[in-house]
Amino acid sequence: MKYITRSFEETEAAAARLADTLKGGEVIAMYGDLGAGKTAFVRGLARALGINAHITSPTFTIVNEYEGRLELYHFDVYRINDPEEIYEVGYEDYINSDGVCIIEWAELIEELLPQDCIRVKINKDSSHGDDYREITIENSDI
Ligand code: ADP
Ligand code: MG
């Protein structure tokens, strides 16, 4: 499924639609440059799961945990030097849990992603304006 969004709020709304399809146990790999809107997408997803906490990228801690309709594990692997480092924070347990894992900068751990993961790709196209984003969601029910 492909969404065009023209604001932060529209990206949150697209994420909320994905959230409504989640049953637990999914891994969502996110792709997109700095400022693409990955964290915005996570915020929309989290809110739709009933999480009220303020979501920020866990760049230095690698993973943040939130409690909602489902547990949400928010990864940002931008700062890791070696893909294997994420095992030290318990990656294996998180991806095999009943919660939902969502991973910013998933390309940096591509070989460690489950093959059946949901992929969310966010691209800017400034020829359509600063706030224009194309969001492609692969391997999900939406
Ligand atoms: P990332 O996590 O990919 O680095 P963020 O979500 O932190 O990106 O930041 C995205 C920035 O782009 C925010 O400042 C947000 O307000 C802005 N923005 C503008 N238009 C959009 C859009 N359509 N979707 C998401 N964010 C947008
Ligand atoms: Mg981010």
- What pLDDT score does 141 carry? 83
Q: Cα separations (Å) of 5 from 52, 94, 99, 133, 136?
A: 23, 30, 27, 5, 11
**pLDDT of 101:** 98
91: confidence class by pLDDT, cuts 50, 70, 90: very high
| pLDDT at position 113 over 90 | yes
Quote the pTM value.
Answer: 0.97
Which of 20, 70, 44 lies closest to 135, judged by CA? 44
**Mean pLDDT over all residues of the chain?**
96
Does residue 19 have a pLDDT over 90? Answer: yes
For residue 1, give the H/E element and its range: none
Q: What residues are in contact with ligand 1 under a 6 Å CB criterion?
A: 5-8, 10-11, 32, 34-40, 57, 104, 131, 133
